[in-house]
Structure formats: C-alpha cells, structure tokens
Structure 1
Amino acid sequence: MKFRILGVVVAAATGLTLTSSGGAVAGGNEALTRDLDTILADSGLQGADVGVTVRDANTGEIVYTRSGGRRSQVGSNLKVLTTTAALDLLGPDYRWKTDLQSSGARSGSTLNGDLVLRGTGDPTMSAPRYNDLAIALKNSGVTQVSGALVLDDTAFDSQPYGPGWAWDDEPFSYNAETSALTLSPDAKISAGTVIVNVQPGASAGAPVQVSVEPANDHVQIVNTATTGDGGISVERDHGTNVIRVSGSTSVATAALSTVKDPTGLVGSVFRKALAANGIQVQGGVRRGKAPQGAAVLASDQSMTLGQLMNPLLKNSNNMLAEVLVKSAGGSFGNGVNQLSRKWAGLGVDPNWVEIFDGSGMSRMDEISPDDLSSILVKAKTKPWFGTWQSSLPVAGRDGTLVNRMKGTKAEGNVVAKTGSMSGVSALTGYVTTQAGRQLVFSVVQNNLVLWFSPKTIEDKIAVRLANDGGASVAATQKTQTVPQQRKAPAEKPTKVPAKERFDVECSWVDAC
C-alpha cells in the first residue's frame, strides 16, 4: 500500500495524466504515452501482466507508468537490487580470502597437526590458484602434514540453493550450489561447475573420449556418446555427482556441468595440488572448522567487489549474486535481511517487496517496476555509481544486450539489466533521449506464453525512449504479433538450440 499511495502523491504533484488504457504521462507528453500504449497493445501480451515505469533519471519524476506499482517476478532484474545493496553494505573494495591455516607446530619439514583450507566464498577461485597455495606451502618448507586436510566452509551455511529454485535446473551452470569453498573452471567465473570436454573418435560410431577440467575424483562420468552428428547432451543426475554424456558428435565440444557439493570438489582438486607439489597429508581429508587463533600459512585474495560487478552484471551471473547474499549474512535468509538495511536508501521499502535470494532465480521473489526504477535514480547519488553503471550491459555492444537494438538510437545508448525466466522477462536501465534528457525505465512482463518473444516489447520501448517522439516512431511499432501453431514447452539448454530460447539469459547458454 505504501508504494501505491506514494505513487498517487507523486502523480498529483507532477501533473500526471492517466490515459484510458492505463498509461500515464507527465507534463502532457501525450505522444510518448500514445506510442508506449501502442507497443503494449501487442496481441502477444494477451493474458500477460505487464508493468512499466519511466522516470527522469535525475529528479525521479514519473514520465510514464502502467501498473508500475504491481509486484511481480523479475528474474535477473533482481540483481539490480542485490548489487547496489551489496555495494552499499560491503563496499566496492570488499575482497574474499582463502587461507591455509594450522595450529600445529613445525618440526623440520613436517607440520605436526591439521592443515586447514578455509574459504570465505570467493567465487573466482580456480584450480591454478589452489595450486599456488600449495606452492606457497611448499616454498615455506613444508613437505609433510601429520594430520588431516580439513575443509572449512563454515563461513556460509549448508543450504546450497535459494528458496523457491526449480529442482530441474539443478544440472545447469546457472543453477550451481553456493559454498564458502568453491572454484570456477572458466573465465566467466562459473562457480560450482566443471568443464566436460568431449573429443570424437576416429570413425563414425566410435566412442567419444571425455575428460573433466579441473581433474578430480569428485565427479563420475558415465559416457554412452558416440562419434556422429546427432548432438551431445551433458547432464548431471539429480542429487548426485554422476554426469551422463550421451548423444553423438563429430567435432570437439565442451559443456559446463554443476557439481554436488563444491566443497568436496575443492578438496579433491587441492589434495591433488598438494601431492603434485610433493606435500604428503597423512591424515586424509575431513570437514571442520579452523581452530581459533590458528596461524595463517598462506593466503589468496580475490578481486574487489567493484571489479566483480562487470562479470556479474554483463553476464547475469547467478552464482556471483548469491555469493553477495551469503557474504552479507552467512545464509540466504540472514543475508537478505542484512542487505535489506540498505534498501530504504535505494528507494525500496522492505515491507512491500518479497526477496528470497540474490539472483532472482526464486519464484517467490517479487518487486515492482516502480522499485527497480527508483533504485536507478538513487544509485546516481552513490560514490560507487560509475563502477556499477559501467558494468551494466550496453545495447548492441556487450553482455546480454550485445545482439539487441542494433542499428537504432538505443545502440550504445541504453545500458540496462536483462531478466529471463519461463513466463518472465524484464529490462531495467538508463537511456538518454535525442534531446539529451536522461531517463530510467523498468519493463516487467509476467505470465507470458512460450511462443511469444517478449524481448521485442522491451526493445521497442527502449528504442522509443531513445527517440524524442514523432509519428514515424509510433508507426513502426503497431504491428501486432499473431500466434503460430503451439510449440512444445522448451527443454533445457543441452537439448534446445540456444537461439530459440527466450526463457533464460543468453549468456547462460552461450547465445549472446
């Protein structure tokens, strides 16, 4: 109620005029209202719930609104709230540490006691950096550990997934587990995953060869794939570390797979690194907490939170967003509560949103276009704004917008966060009109049918805002979508051509 009441007050103060179709316009800008109403009249939106808010980026004045106060699922647009609140709470210079610790005494080259690998959630850790920790320990003179290798992931709780996540997304890289000890096998920082490499055999029908990066004994590969042209499927069995490779391929291919228990994966990779550097651990591997006052033998430090914004927002990286939540409070629930302390300063009343994770993957998350657009206005007043805004995708240039709005006034102009889930699509960002006025906008679409491409609606709105108006703009936007013969529901990324999918972020299926 508070935001709806506030919206009415703002409307009265700024002279908003409601149109018969439910839109609103400030200052009598009827051409804009007419054009946006025309775009939103697309027959493909029949039965859908659509909310749109456009504001002046500097004053917050509402320029256009349609159901802007209605809470909805917003997919990855939730990262707008998560990242700005985390920058306010943790600070752009925040870093994650991974330490080798021990309370044991040295006797020559032997460490008498346990060797503890303690993580604080660094999602950028990799096999080479774990190897560097082993090298640092070797260079200190240690070649033998009398105790165990202890894996300490207690900085985060043991809940691997956000509340309300879909179980059938479990195998896919955008749905990995969150752990205080994890690793990423690639440059995109796909924390909690491994790369499955497939090499075709010498002739048609021959078995393919499968390898995993980084090498580990945590996952089990079941390979039934052959050499051919049918396409490869890589999928992990629910609740296990059995990764099944099936189908056929005649070219080398690679795919990401999530793992069950990233801490266990790290333990396997680090144990191999210790052995490769001539360090023997006599007591095996176990889980535990570093003793209080344990000495730090070697340490690794991540990039800063500010530097992490670019891969997080450009690629809509879910796992990086969830690390922010758990870094704020140790668990999903407490992390959201800690971040919510900063929401009011971003124009969001914690009483009138429902947030359960950091990435927007939860089907229980609900926030309005009014809230999202307000965050963009408030962010401009923050000391970290330049870093944050430059990390948003740029229309027609990079990130999840690299292939959208090319050849229009929006290209290189619109910087915005995308959001995609089955039945949900959203776009929230900044745009400068031809007259030089900077606007913020948020478009949220829910209850969409699968045959319809909602990105066209978002792009038309953004392109219209990038222009100063005119009948010619509106005239090009009046074509309505005609439904085709119903298609079967989309399968998962390993089974559906990436460019046909509108229900996931393009970066998640390498389709950008």
Structure 2
Amino acid sequence: LGPVIEGDLWVLGRGDPEVDRRTMRALARRVARAGVRRVDGRILGATTYFLRDWDATGWDDDARRYVALPTALTFEGNVDRLGRKVPDPEVRAAAALERALERLGVAVRGRPGSGDPPAGLQVLAAVSSAPLRALLARMLRPSDNFAAEVLGKRLAVAVSGTPGSIPRAAAAIAGWARGVGVEVQAYDASGLSYANRVTAEGIVRLLSAAEAEPWGRALFEALPTGGQGTLEHRLLTVRIRAKTGTLSGISALSGWVWLERLGAWGEFSILSQGMSKPVASDLEDRIVRLLQNHAR
C-alpha cells in the first residue's frame, strides 16, 4: 500500500472487551508508520465477526442494564461517557481512529461508519489485546458481565467458527463441561440467565477439571481473594480464590479455599435460593471459614 488509500479503511475487532481511545491511538500510530498519509474513502467498523445478538433464554428485563451490546469490535465498554449503553460501538471506534489519524496528519475524506467488510482485505496495521489472564482477572474480580459475554462469543468462534453468538458461547461452555463429565444447562456466558442449571457438586468437579488444564493456573489467579472485587469487605483473613454469583433471590460462592488441616487448596461451591443477599453472604462466609479450619 502507498501513502493514499483509495478506498475504505476497515477496523476489524476480534473480541477484545477493552478497546478504547488508547487502543485507537496506538492503531493510528501504526497506520501512520506504514506510510499512509490520506484515506480517500471512509473508516468503517466491521460488524460481522459476532452476531449482534443481545438477549438470551432466561434473561429478565433487567439483564441489559448489566450487559452492553456484546460486539466483536468494542469501544469504551460499549457505553457513552454517562454510562448509557450505545447501539453503534463500531461507528464510535471508527470515529476514534479517524480523530487519532487526523491528529497525526493523516487526512480522511469520508465520514466514519460500520458494516460488513468485503473479502480479500489486506492487513495494514494491528494491535493486540491484553493477555487473556489479565482480561480474566479484570472480568472476574468486579464480575463484569459485558466482558463475559464478549469473551464468550470469542470462545464460540474458537470452538465452532464465525459468527460468535450468545447461544454458541453457551453451547461451547456446556460442551466443555460435558467433556469432563458434568451436565450443564447454559444459555449465556455471564450467568445472568435464570434458565442456567448446574449443581454445586458439578461446579466442584468443573473446578477440579480446570486444575488439569493449561489455563487452570491463570483461572485460579484471576479469581478474587478475600477483600478484593466482589469479595470486598468479605473473608479478609481467609486464603481464598472464589467467584460470587448473584441474581434476585439467588446467591453463590465457588472456588478454592486453603484447608489448614490438609495444607492444600480445596474446591468448594455454595449455591442458595430464597434468602436475602446479606443472609446468604453471611452463611457462605461461615461455611468457608469452617472449611478452612476443619476440613480433613
């Protein structure tokens, strides 16, 4: 490619939930270093690597309050500066790249947009996401449902090809669980669906299976410790790596706790229904302390 791109410049996202202005500035620098000085067409964000589905079996009316539209090309968490969900993150990413290019002296003629990219595009520049272990930590510790659905769709692509979708993500999760002997009914990647089904014993078996996977250590280290993330103000004196789960009338805590009498980490899972969140959390913490101090 020469200094002038005579057609459109496409931005293709591949499921990084953390694309932001810094990402676009880094991409713009690489485009400029490639020698581009003018784009005669438009900058367009691609929309087809994932389906733009935004619903799941078992989601209630509040689910979209917790999950922005999970797209392959994300931008600023797919919310605006006031935290409102946006319908056009691909356009916003394209616009951010255009502004970054113009600050570097690269002229762009057309207005930013989005669409289905044509086949045969040539890669001009690329930037990488943070390592998956870092993305996992930033997803699991605050319980980021948006990142979970985006990464779930990316998992779906890895397992069954494009386009990634919420049902395909759920199928990939259930398929892995079935492969290690656990039956899971999954309808999303975030866990917001009231139709999801798994037993506490099943979760313990999944945790045990995860330990044997190449990514098992990364999962363990990504989970919150006591006092961290959704465990803020909880289990401060307990050696624990665990994930909370909360829906209306439903509470869960699953992960690993250090068993003092055995001198080893042990898997656990606590699922409850019909209690207030404070009562359920207190019960979970009491069970975890009992496991820490008395399990043999």
**Does the alignment reach a TM-score above 0.5?**
yes
In the alignment, the residues of structure 1 paired with residue 174 and residue 196 of structure 2 have an alpha-carbon distance, to the nearest angstrom, of 14
Q: Which amino acid aligns with 1:148?
A: R
Partner of 2:251: 425
Partner of 2:118: 291
Q: Does residue 325 of the first structure (1) align with residue 152 of the second (2)?
A: yes
Q: What percent identity do the matched residue pairs reach?
A: 30
> Which 10-residue stretch deviates more, 156-165 or 365-374?
156-165
- In the TM superposition, what are the counterparts of 1:96-495 in structure 2 within 5 Å? 106=2, 109-170=3-64, 172=65, 174-184=66-76, 191-196=77-82, 256-329=83-156, 330-349=164-183, 353-396=184-227, 398-406=228-236, 411-436=237-262, 438-449=265-276, 453-468=279-294
> Which 10-residue stretch deviates more, 133-142 or 419-428?
133-142
Q: Tell me the alpha carbon deviations over residues 124-160 of structure 1, each in whole angstroms, 9 at most, x when there is no partner.
A: 2110110221222223332221222222121100113
Q: Which amino acid aligns with 1:395?
A: G
The answer to whether the Cα contact below 8 Å between 2:43 and 2:95 also exists between their aligned partners in 1 is: no
Q: Which amino acid aligns with 2:105?
A: G
Tell me the CA shift for residue 449 of structure 1: 4.5
In the alignment, the residues of structure 1 paired with residue 265 and residue 293 of structure 2 have an alpha-carbon distance, to the nearest angstrom, of 12
Quick check: which one's helix share is greater? 2
Tell me the CA shift for residue 281 of structure 1: 2.5
Q: Tell me the alpha carbon deviations over residues 245-287 of structure 1, each in whole angstroms, 9 at most, x when there is no partner.
A: xxxxxxxxxxx33323322322332232233333332232332
In the alignment, the residues of structure 1 paired with residue 265 and residue 199 of structure 2 have an alpha-carbon distance, to the nearest angstrom, of 21
Q: Which amino acid aligns with 1:393?
A: P
The gaps in structure 2 that reach 5 residues or longer are: 157-163
Partner of 1:23: none
The answer to whether the Cα contact below 8 Å between 1:164 and 1:364 also exists between their aligned partners in 2 is: yes
The answer to whether the Cα contact below 8 Å between 1:161 and 1:178 also exists between their aligned partners in 2 is: no
Higher relative contact order (CA 8 A, sep 6+): 1
In the alignment, the residues of structure 2 paired with residue 147 and residue 261 of structure 1 have an alpha-carbon distance, to the nearest angstrom, of 20
Partner of 2:159: none
- Equivalences, count: 287
Higher-Rg member (1/2): 1
In the alignment, the residues of structure 2 paired with residue 421 and residue 141 of structure 1 have an alpha-carbon distance, to the nearest angstrom, of 52
In the alignment, the residues of structure 2 paired with residue 333 and residue 153 of structure 1 have an alpha-carbon distance, to the nearest angstrom, of 18
Q: Tell me the alpha carbon deviations over residues 64-119 of structure 1, each in whole angstroms, 9 at most, x when there is no partner.
A: xxxxxxxxxxxxxxxxxxxxxxxxxxxxxxxxxxxxxxxxx63xx32111111111
The gaps in structure 1 that reach 5 residues or longer are: 1-104, 185-190, 197-255, 470-512
Quick check: which one's strand share is greater? 1
Tell me the CA shift for residue 445 of structure 1: 1.2
In structure 2, the residue corresponding to 1:299 is in which secondary structure? coil
In structure 2, the residue corresponding to 1:443 is in which secondary structure? strand
In the alignment, the residues of structure 2 paired with residue 301 and residue 146 of structure 1 have an alpha-carbon distance, to the nearest angstrom, of 26
| Residue 432 to residue 347, structure 1, CA distance change in 2 (3 Å) | farther
Note the aligned Cα RMSD (angstroms): 2.2
